[in-house]
Amino acid sequence: MIESLDGSVALVTGGARRVGAAIARRLHAAGASVLVHYRDSDADANALVAQLNGTRAKSAASVKAELLAPIAPRALVSAALDTFGRLDILVNNASSFFPVAIGAVEASHWEELVGSNLRAPLFICQEAAPHLAKSEGCILNIVDIHAERPLKGYPVYSIAKGGLAAMTRSLALELAPKVRVNGVSPGAIAWPEDGQFDPAERERIVATTPLARIGSPEDIAQAVHFLACATYVTGQIIAVDGGRSVFL
């Protein structure tokens, strides 16, 4: 049984591919209308929206935006309101992920990693909060187990996700009692497509995961769906990592 989200509207950032698309599909299958945000993945976004609308007419739409642009938060929230008339669920999923060593960090690295993983989610939350309060809705932030246990070689990324974890807990206080704010921290779910982890490193990560396998985007989507429906849960960050954060 899938707990119903009938009548609700969800905005999923970075929702055209991979984990974001799995979240969009899961929330849509539960009855939500979905606004899929994307930056460059036009074809993927169009295909996903067509698929969802094929299942339920006029239940999905897309919006293209560069999240680092100052206008983006208002544009995204306005798109949800203009298209569906309300906003109940905000999923901050979009994220940049790449290594940069101390000694080589430049302002552009900071702007990209902190901008996508922390600054943009904060300002989107701020823009969405009054509308979420009207429907007693919720915010779901996709954090990372490395927010708590930094990943060597990725200091700026780890700092950004650490900030997102703190933001999740802070906003749970600031926006209560009308808006719930929770997070999901993935472990090894979908390997980066740019080959950041070589085969030996992938084997090591699986070997240090108690469930001895990587997860799937659907595992993250399931946790997001649970938190969207869990009306007495706020300020929590659930690790979906096969137990790896216990081992580290």
pLDDT of residue 186: 97
Per-residue pLDDT of 79-113, as tens digits, reads 999 999 999 999 999 999 999 999 999 999 999 99
**Active-site residue (options: 38, 154, 157, 232):** 157
| pTM (2 d.p.) | 0.96
Of 226, 133, 201, 125, give the one whose Cα is nearest residue 167.
125
Per-residue pLDDT of 206-235, as tens digits, reads 999 999 999 999 999 999 999 999 999 999
- Average pLDDT (178-203) is 93
Q: DSSP letters along 196-229, please?
A: -S-HHHHHHHHHTSTTSS---HHHHHHHHHHHHH
Of 3.40.50.150, 3.20.10.10, 3.40.50.720, 3.30.70.100, which CATH number belongs to 9-240? 3.40.50.720
**Whether pLDDT at 2 is above 80:** no
Phi, then psi, of 109 in degrees rounded to 5: -65, -45
Do residues 121 and 93 make contact, with C-beta atoms less than 8 angstroms apart?
no
Per-residue pLDDT of 104-149, as tens digits, reads 999 999 999 999 999 999 999 999 999 999 999 999 999 999 999 9
Q: Is 157 a catalytic site residue?
A: yes
In a 10 Å sphere around its CB, with 0-12 CB exposed, 13-18 middle and 19+ buried, how is residue 150 labelled?
Answer: middle
Domain ranges of the chain: 9-240
**Whether pLDDT at 1 is above 70:** no
CA distances from 83 to 32, 37, 90, 106, 137 (A): 13, 13, 15, 39, 18
Per-residue pLDDT of 10-29, as tens digits, reads 999 999 999 999 999 999 99
pLDDT of residue 107: 98
Question: What tokens does 173 get?
Answer: 């206080």
CA distances from 34 to 12, 50, 128, 218 (A): 7, 12, 15, 17
Distance CA 145, CA 156 (A): 15
